Amino acid sequence: MIVESAPAKINLALHIRHRRPDGYHELETLFAFAADGDTITVVPAQADSLRVTGPYAEALRSAPDRAGGALAEGQPQPQNLVEKAAQAFCRTFGIDRRHAITLDKHLPVASGIGGGSADAAATLRALARLHAIAPQDPRLFVIAEGLGADVPACLLGRTTLGTGKGEALIPVHGLAGTPMLLVNPGVAVSTAAVFARWDGVDRGGIAHDGDLLARAVAGRNDLQPAALQLAPVIAEVLTALGHAPGATLARMSGSGATCFALFTDIAARDAAAAAMRDRNWWVLATLVT
């Protein structure tokens, strides 16, 4: 049995530069990862299977399709990224074996913290361990890039500056161990719908050197205004986090609706977490890894 964590992905800053001819957006982002998230378990089996457990299992099964629309009754569920990752791994490495995979889903669905991408990346890491493939094998990153823009960063699993569509990664240092709070107001936001509402203005890139926290604070999330149009409650989360004692940075992650705050110490983070739970929001008190 191989067990791999699939930690939540955070965009400390996310600058959208322009839309590319291939349909992706050229961007610059500071990726960071939480100490907590989903979990992938892989065991050899007689037949391929995927079992989803955890508090967000049902939400994943009933999630809207990738275009952001609800699935029509009787329409087949789109293939999970975990299954796509496993199939691509076996094709790439010539593995003629079957695997039973369990996804223990604790991160909200369609929430801007890379849940699906993190799950796919953890699947690749787990299968690589099971079949004695080096974790830095370049073929793993080729598979990851084919699965989605955030999957290579999730596969690497460390704080990085991402450029291109997010797949060109430069490791950075400076925030490991920082107390962090993630908060989602209980709404799912379509990534496609948010990108469609981006105003198209290039407001410049992220500083490529210097203190990491200062670079993040000086940055922004260019998708935040568009997400606020779709889910105004995000503004309430940002206000609550921004006014929490000890918060050094509060921002929406990715395309939303999850927001995060970094804190000076664990006590301040935990006090803020208690206040957020009183609002019946999803809350994860964690650390930057």
Among candidate residues 134, 151, 171, the one where a domain is terminated = 171
Tell me, yes or no, whether 248 and 265 share the same domain: yes
| 255 assigned binding-site residue | no
Point out the residues that are catalytic. 9, 150
Structure tokens at 181: 């709070």
| 68 assigned binding-site residue | no
**What DSSP element (H or E) covers 32?**
strand 25-45
- Per-residue pLDDT, averaged over 235-264, amounts to 98
CATH number at residue 279: 3.30.70.890
Tell me, yes or no, whether 108 and 196 share the same domain: no
Among candidate residues 129, 148, 171, the one where a domain is terminated = 171
Rounded to whole angstroms, the Cα distance separating 260 from 242 reads: 9
Residue 208's pLDDT band (cuts 50, 70, 90)? confident
| 190 assigned binding-site residue | no
Decide if pLDDT at 222 tops 60.
yes
- Per-residue pLDDT, averaged over 243-270, amounts to 98
Rounded to whole angstroms, the Cα distance separating 3 from 81 reads: 17
101: containing domain: 2-171
pLDDT tens track for 168-184: 999 999 999 999 999 99
| 116 assigned binding-site residue | yes
| 157 assigned binding-site residue | no
Report the pLDDT value the prediction gives residue 283, as an integer from 0 to 100: 98
Higher pLDDT, 256 or 68: 256
Tell me, yes or no, whether 186 and 206 share the same domain: yes
Q: What percentage of the chain reaches a pLDDT higher than 70?
A: 94
Strand bridging mode 98-104 / 49-53:
parallel
Average pLDDT, the chain: 93
Tell me, yes or no, whether 55 and 91 share the same domain: yes
Tell me, yes or no, whether 188 and 157 share the same domain: no
Query: What is this structure's pTM?
Result: 0.92
Q: Are the C-beta atoms of 117 and 148 separated by less than 8 Å? A: yes
| 200 assigned binding-site residue | no
Rounded to whole angstroms, the Cα distance separating 162 from 124 reads: 20
Report the pLDDT value the prediction gives residue 74, as an integer from 0 to 100: 43
Tell me, yes or no, whether 161 and 185 share the same domain: no
Report the pLDDT value the prediction gives residue 265, as an integer from 0 to 100: 98
Tell me, yes or no, whether 26 and 94 share the same domain: yes
Tell me, yes or no, whether 147 and 195 share the same domain: no
Residue 210's pLDDT band (cuts 50, 70, 90)? very high
Decide if pLDDT at 230 tops 90.
yes
pLDDT tens track for 4-55: 999 999 999 999 999 999 888 999 999 999 999 999 999 999 999 999 999 9
CATH number at residue 53: 3.30.230.10
Tell me, yes or no, whether 36 and 162 share the same domain: yes
Tell me, yes or no, whether 196 and 150 share the same domain: no
For the chain, state the CA radius of gyration.
18
pLDDT tens track for 45-103: 999 999 999 999 998 887 654 333 333 334 444 578 999 999 999 999 999 999 999 99
Q: Range with the lowest mean pLDDT among 69-78, 121-130, 210-219, 252-261? A: 69-78
- Per-residue pLDDT, averaged over 239-262, amounts to 98
Tell me, yes or no, whether 117 and 90 share the same domain: yes
Q: How many domains does the chain have?
A: 2
| 78 assigned binding-site residue | no
Among candidate residues 148, 171, 194, the one where a domain is terminated = 171
Tell me, yes or no, whether 16 and 146 share the same domain: yes
Rounded to whole angstroms, the Cα distance separating 46 from 90 reads: 15
Paired residues of 184 in beta bridges: 282
